[in-house]
């Protein structure tokens, strides 16, 4: 497979939002669309990193900071290799997300707020985690027993209850193309 690896700095598309907000769904569709366009990209998913690189970390506040710090460093390496990077992480703390932004070049960090009301996420509950969080079986659960600090000025704000996945992808890709031109 021959793909285009651009010589200019690549973008990091960072999707943040509650568990069940739709981050992974959007991230996977975006990765497929970029691949179809011949744009070399890599998707980092929070759940997957917790099985490997971050398998030693739990869900305490300190471990959540470290989870996002390490992920940001991996994103830097992937960007440096010439790939567009898509990262789907709850990343509940604003300061952690801003720290990644600060380590990149201006315009390189595209923060996408996947904004789904807690009630909707809890109703979907695709992994049954909200139920466990409400019963106390899971501690430190974002939105229930741990904080989520929404982005104040994200590059892209997707209200999933009003926007289709396709339209969300189109918005992100337009933003990438605009930034590149």
135 among known catalytic residues: no
94 binds its own copies (CB under 8 A): no
Distance CA 84, CA 87 (A): 10
- Min dist CB 177 to its own copies, Å, is 19
Q: What is the 3-state secondary structure (H, E, C) of 53-109?
A: CCCCCCCCHHHHHHHHHHHHHHHHHHHHCCCEEEEECCCCCHHHHHHHHHHCCCCCE
Among 18, 83, 87, 114, binds its own copies (CB under 8 A): 83
Distance CA 121, CA 127 (A): 11
- Min dist CB 33 to its own copies, Å, is 17
**Number of amino acids touching its own copies (CB under 8 A):** 24
Among 60, 81, 159, 161, binds its own copies (CB under 8 A): 81
**Which residues ranging from 18 to 57 are in contact with its own copies (CB under 8 A)?**
40, 42, 44, 52-53, 56
């Amino acid at each position: 497979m021959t793909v285009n690896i651009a010589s200019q700095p690549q973008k990091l598309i960072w999707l943040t939002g509650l568990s069940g907000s739709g981050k992974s769904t959007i991230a996977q569709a975006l990765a497929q669309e970029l691949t179809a366009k011949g744009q070399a990209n890599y998707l980092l998913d929070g759940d997957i990193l917790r099985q490997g690189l971050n398998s030693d970390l739990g869900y305490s506040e300190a471990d959540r900071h470290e989870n996002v710090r390490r992920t940001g460093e991996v994103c830097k390496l992937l960007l440096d290799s010439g790939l567009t990077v898509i990262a789907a992480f709850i990343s509940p703390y604003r300061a952690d997300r801003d720290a990644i932004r600060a380590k990149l070049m201006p315009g390189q960090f595209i923060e996408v707020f996947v904004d789904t009301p807690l009630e909707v996420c809890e109703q979907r509950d695709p992994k049954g985690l909200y139920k466990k969080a409400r019963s106390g079986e899971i501690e430190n659960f974002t939105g229930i027993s741990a904080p989520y600090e929404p982005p104040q000025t994200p590059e892209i704000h997707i209200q999933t209850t009003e926007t289709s996945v396709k339209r969300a992808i189109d918005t992100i890709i337009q933003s990438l193309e605009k930034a590149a031109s």
